[in-house]
Chains A and B, each alone.
Chain A
Amino acid sequence: MAALGSLAFAQPWLLLALLALPALWFLLRVTPPAPKTQRFPAIRLLLGLAPTEETPARTPWWLLLLRLLAAALVIVGLAGPVMHPATQLSGSGPLVLVIDNGWASAKTWSERMQVAEAQLDRAAREQRRVRLLTTAPARPDAPLAASDLLRPERARERIRALQPHPWPSDYAAARSVVEDLQIDGSAHVVWLNDGLQTPETEALASRLQRLGRLELMRPEPADLPVSVLPPSRSGTDLKVQVRRAAARGQTARTVIASDERGRLVATAEASFDDGSRVATATFELPLELRNRITRVGVQGENTAASVALLDSRWQRRPVGLVTESAQADAQPLLSEVYYLERALAPYAEVTRGNLSELLAQDRAMIVLSDRGALRADLRNQARAWVERGGVLLRFAGPKLARELTGPEARAGEGTPLLPVRLRRGGRALSGTMSWGSPPKLADFPADSPFAGLSVPDELTIERQVLAQPSLELGEKTWARLADGTPLVTADQRGDGWVVLVHTTANAQWSNLPLSGLFVQMLRRIVSVGEGVAETADTGPLPPSSVLDGFGQLGPAPASVQALSTQALETNAISAAHPPGLYGLEGQRRAHNLGPAVGDARPLTALPAGVEVSGFQAEPEQRFGPWLLVAALVLLLIDLGIALLLRGLFGPAGGDGMGRRAARAAGGGAAAILLAVALAPAPALAQSGGGDAPESYALKATLDTRLAYVVTGVDRVDRISEQGLRGLSRTLTARTSIEPAAPLPVRLDEHPLAFFPLLYWPVTDQQAPLSTRVERKVNDYLANGGTILFDLRDPTPGVNLGGGLSGAGQALRALTRNLDIPPLKPVPPEHVLTKAFYLLNDFPGRYDGGQLWVEDTSAGGGDGDNVASVLVGYNDYAGAWAIDQAGRARFAVTPGGERQREMAFRVGVNLVMYAMTGNYKADQVHIPAILERLGQ
């Protein structure tokens, strides 16, 4: 390996081939270029001709230069150029590669892997064997061990399989492994350190130095991982402490709180001041949101220590509400429990029970409403519970007041479960005999947990119990009235608190429980307590899910062992107990790495003679292959030029076919592009033209219109149109229905919903309905539409042979899949006979055909009992049809203008019937109504 500054070659002797380039120049220069081939018909005349002066054609100089450059690139590329070559390994023995893969290594893991591979490259170049040693145990049952002497390729495979572990490195174990290491000759030791100071670092380093030269690589202090402590469980806000190793610099880190499914709940900033290692991120969240947080992590960090898992201890506080009976109260508005439960329920998990039960359940807070003396055993039990961290919230009231005057208090027992000594008797601040108005609540002191809550004006305290004045009374007071008397006092006992509200929890003594302030105060009190530490030793907790080295929660591998309560309390993190969640469903306990990390410092103390460097040293770069690629590209260019010179591309080619083909291809491509570009335009034009759905809908809805089904038979459709036009005119002249010109309805494209009545002439030439159209027509019928089928066939429905007539068959074919209700001939009293005109029969162009309607007598169905289907035989449109001049188009049979008039009356009645429904049916009651009115 020959090095030239930052450039070196793996096979420098290959560069000697560069000396051959001038020879190549000469050769290329002498060899004439390949001739251009030219087809020529008159070749017979050329045969035997030779140019007078034979100056050989020369390869152009630039082409020569191109080829020489390509050759030079090939030579240099094959010589294996390396940028930033690593220095040579010292010693003669193997390369000992010590890799920290504890939790702190995850942050710089990819750099670590690159550096490790670069070291293996060095070893491979110098043909050294490699011994690998990782400092974090992979499994709890497998002690640390160094690998055998490996070839660099094998070592590379092992390194690529390495993963950082979420537990710390074990340098003491590593040192004992190193002590047992047998090395031939002096080794070159490279230690990829995680950059944190530990007590054993120095010892391990000096032990490694004995193997040979020690090169230690560690991340820069700015790249050291940060750790997150689980938030404290007290206080209203969630305060997350973030620690860093290096104290220098002012930075801000974003802390992310996410819920069980990984969704972001909130973010907060933790700003490190210059010189401080600790920063705090504060989440001010409503309790509902706060309860959703199961994980707090630092953005941009991927170590297990940058994640703090939160279990149920951080979530809803279990609150016990002491009731004498678990039954519902008969008069809830007088019950203290009722107010307390309503106020606590949004923020806490409330359980009712008697005191002894609740004490056994490890509630975080127990609320004791006005209560007389407690039994001595209960009292002791409660005191112990408070000292373990419970919050006992008491309310004053008549019973407490009585107790103060009772024998126990007089006997000197005192009131051990009260924060302050109370004076006997209460104080009535307002009453029938009182002159003054009751005092207001003063603003909360700044050191009170209630600080910042606003006091509503309408709050009045009518009675309270009074505290004995004492020196510490001021400190113990969380809230006081405007005149200075304490309203809420609290005292810390052990880890817990005893809090007394000097008035009742119902509206008896004050209206505090009715105000919103009461809810907020209770919430603050709930969050004061840290909760009761788990005391019952429930035995080892089985692992549920654990963090991997990169701080991702995953299923626990089989090697993880159950976690004892003791280990949980001491934050013992090891391969057997990686950070994660332990315990059965519902009782998960978070086991976090953050507290175990403690106060991490950057690595400073090292024995003399250790070469320390960062990971950022530029890695070796082999760019030989790139040079070869460049040479290949140049040769391809050369090939193109050669073909060009030989006339294979150019227009001078014999018949020009190639050029024409190219031009045709180009033209084709251009045509395709053009087609693609223009394609949407015709489509738009198509959809823009014609009867757009909107315009049809507007046309159909802005005016009332009669409509007919387009059968596709021109003659029939024309008669339909003219017939409906005639009927429309009649309607306009005689009734208040003034329809506009009738509209054709194409069943397959037009919506039907706009038309109350559809006229459908039946013809056997109509195409069968598609399934979609059938569904549409069924919808129309089901939702109140009316269709008049006109068979236009004077003969009765059944002919002599018993078969259906042509129109009948057509009707049957068309309506095969329609939901046609049962039909009957129009009964004499049907609404159709009196909707506008009084009619006895229903003639059209023909007379005698029966008109059938849906049998609506059974009731049910929609549309005011209006028949959805009418079937007539009499060719109504034919009778109504008028031409442009308004004259009738067809004669009616058997004849007479009277029949035509009757046909129009039938039409009017039909339209009235479709539009007004059974309105006219009510007319039957008119005589009775008139009679009742005394007419």
Chain B
Amino acid sequence: MSPTTLSPRQRAEQLSAALPPLLLHAERVAASVAQGVHGRRRVGQGEAFWQFRDYQPGDSPQSIDWRQTAKADRVFVRQMEWEAAQSVWCWRDGSASMDWRSSTKLPTKRARAELLMLALMTLMIRAGEHVSLLGTGLPPAANRGTLVRLSEILRREQPDAARDLPATQPLPRYGQVLLLGDFLADPADIERSLRGFAERGVKGHLVQVLDPAEETLPYSGRVRFEGLQGERPWLLSRAEGVRAQYRDQLAAQTDAIREIARRTGWRCTWHRTDRSPQTALLAVYSALAQHV
């Protein structure tokens, strides 16, 4: 079966199969609510053996380890290591500007962003993390059904100019946020949006997905540019004349985003749709893995 006939979710799973399970290290354990697979080096609910201890009144009879008890005169209770899961809220830019590509040979930015996001979600679920989509209000979950449900939500969502940046919403502290988009909005807006998360102690990661044409501006001659989100059109008599200036502008935008990320303590990755998605996945994977 060729990759093109697969659904986005299937392609994402295929992509993520090449990487080892991504394990997110919890920065803090205390306040997290849900359980995860991170060994907390203390007794709690989990699957890995932690210690035996003497039976005390009030312990459930099911917790008694009869084999150990039979070796001695005391009654032992088997205790497991407490495992806690990290919750990751993902988001991708669903605006109309993402639904664009400069050539039919390339995927749209939105398609690429969704692919990357689903691939990362697959990895995270395999690693036991809990994932959810930002803005859907669904609680983070870690089963395969979640992935199916989330990809279905993505598929049904219509492009919307208003969703250029994620709306700030209350998230539990020490949650993780993964944002994918072109981040071509005003840097001030971006910073405002990110601060909304950062102030609540939420850490995050930005992935900027751009079309190669947005980087090189390959047009020439008399061109009337029209935005995809109702921006006013801009007529250029010689498009090739502004290429250098445009590159500067783009570099300034990128720098601004990097600066915002630095200030909020977030990380960011860049990706172009003509590059291989595996490269981007690896980059984001390593970035998330370091994100401790």
Contact = CB atoms under 8 A, between A and B. Distances in A.
Contact of B253 (A45, A54, A660): A45
Residue among A41, A51, A57 with max Cβ neighbours from chain B (10 Å): A41
A52 interface: yes
B206 to A, nearest CB: 17
Given A41-B211, A41-B214, A49 B246 contact: yes
Interface in A32-66: 32-33, 35-47, 49-57
A41 B222 contact: no
A142 to B, nearest CB: 77
B223 A44 contact: no
Contacts of A654: 100
B224 A49 contact: no
A607 interface: no
B249 interface: yes
A259 B221 CA distance: 81
Contacts of A46: 225, 234, 236, 242, 246, 249
Contacts of A33: 222
Contact of A43 (B98, B185, B225, B237): B225
Contact of B227 (A40, A52, A655, A656): A40
Interface string B68-109: 000000000000000000000000000001101101100001
B5 interface: no
Contacts of B111: none
Contacts of A40: 213-214, 225-228
B8 to A, nearest CB: 19
A651 interface: yes
Given A42-B214, A656-B103, A55 B231 contact: no
A45 B233 CA distance: 12
A42 B104 contact: no
B22 to A, nearest CB: 30
B275 interface: no
Nearest to B211: A41
A659 interface: yes
Contacts of B239: 51
Contact of B184 (A36, A41, A54): A41
A641 to B, nearest CB: 14
Contacts of A53: 238, 241
A41 B97 contact: yes
Contacts of A660: 104
B171 interface: no
A38 B224 contact: yes
B241 A57 contact: no
Contacts of B221: 36, 57
Given A43-B231, A50-B242, A52-B241, A37 B100 contact: no
A56 B237 contact: yes
Given A49-B245, A51-B242, A656-B104, A39 B184 contact: no
B219 A38 contact: yes
B150 interface: no
A38 B100 CA distance: 12
B249 A39 contact: no
A397 to B, nearest CB: 113
Contacts of B222: 32-33, 35-36, 57
Contact of B231 (A44, A52, A655, A656): A44
A495 B104 CA distance: 103
Residue among A54, A56, A57 with max Cβ neighbours from chain B (10 Å): A57
Residue among A37, A42, A44 with max Cβ neighbours from chain B (10 Å): A42
Contacts of A43: 225-227, 231, 233-234
B76 to A, nearest CB: 65
Contacts of B98: 41
Interface in B155-196: 182, 184-186
B273 to A, nearest CB: 12
Contacts of A656: 101, 103-104
B234 A47 contact: yes
B289 interface: no
B148 interface: no
Residue among A33, A44, A56, A654 with max Cβ neighbours from chain B (10 Å): A44
B236 A42 contact: no
B225 A54 contact: no
A309 B236 CA distance: 87
A32 B238 CA distance: 12
A57 B97 CA distance: 29
B287 interface: no
Nearest to B218: A652
A45 B249 contact: yes
Contacts of B103: 651, 656
A660 B229 CA distance: 24
A38 B225 contact: yes
B235 interface: yes
Interface string B197-223: 000000000000001011000010111
Residue among A51, A53, A56 with max Cβ neighbours from chain B (10 Å): A51
B250 interface: yes
B226 A45 contact: no
Residue among A33, A49, A651 with max Cβ neighbours from chain B (10 Å): A49
B270 to A, nearest CB: 14
Given A35-B222, A57-B238, A42 B101 contact: no
Given A51-B237, A53-B241, A659-B104, A42 B224 contact: no
B97 A55 contact: no
Contacts of B233: 43
Contacts of B242: 46, 49-51
A33 B214 CA distance: 25
Nearest to B214: A42
A38 B223 contact: yes
Contact of B250 (A37, A38, A45, A56): A45
Nearest to A54: B237
Interface string A276-290: 000000000000000
Contacts of B228: 39-41
Nearest to B101: A655
Contacts of A32: 222, 237
B234 A51 contact: no
A31 to B, nearest CB: 12
Nearest to A654: B100
A165 B166 CA distance: 96
A39 B237 contact: no
A90 B206 CA distance: 96
A66 B204 CA distance: 61
Contacts of B250: 42, 45
A39 B98 CA distance: 12
Contacts of B237: 32, 51, 54-57
A40 B213 CA distance: 9
B224 A35 contact: yes
Contacts of A41: 97-98, 100, 109, 182, 184, 211, 214, 227-229
A651 B245 CA distance: 26
A33 B221 CA distance: 10
Nearest to B221: A57
A35 B246 CA distance: 20
Contacts of A38: 219, 223-226
A36 B224 contact: yes
Nearest to A34: B222
Contacts of A57: 221-222, 237-238
A45 B184 contact: yes
18 contacts: A32-B237, A36-B221, A36-B223, A37-B224, A37-B226, A38-B224, A40-B214, A40-B227, A41-B182, A42-B250, A43-B225, A44-B227, A44-B231, A45-B253, A47-B231, A49-B246, A53-B238, A54-B237
Given A36-B223, A44-B227, A47-B231, 20 more contacts: A35-B222, A37-B226, A38-B219, A39-B225, A40-B228, A41-B109, A42-B182, A43-B231, A43-B233, A46-B225, A46-B236, A49-B249, A50-B236, A51-B238, A51-B240, A51-B241, A53-B241, A54-B237, A57-B238, A656-B103
List the 6 shortest-distance A-B pairs measured between CB atoms, nearest first. A51-B241, A41-B97, A656-B104, A43-B227, A35-B224, A45-B249
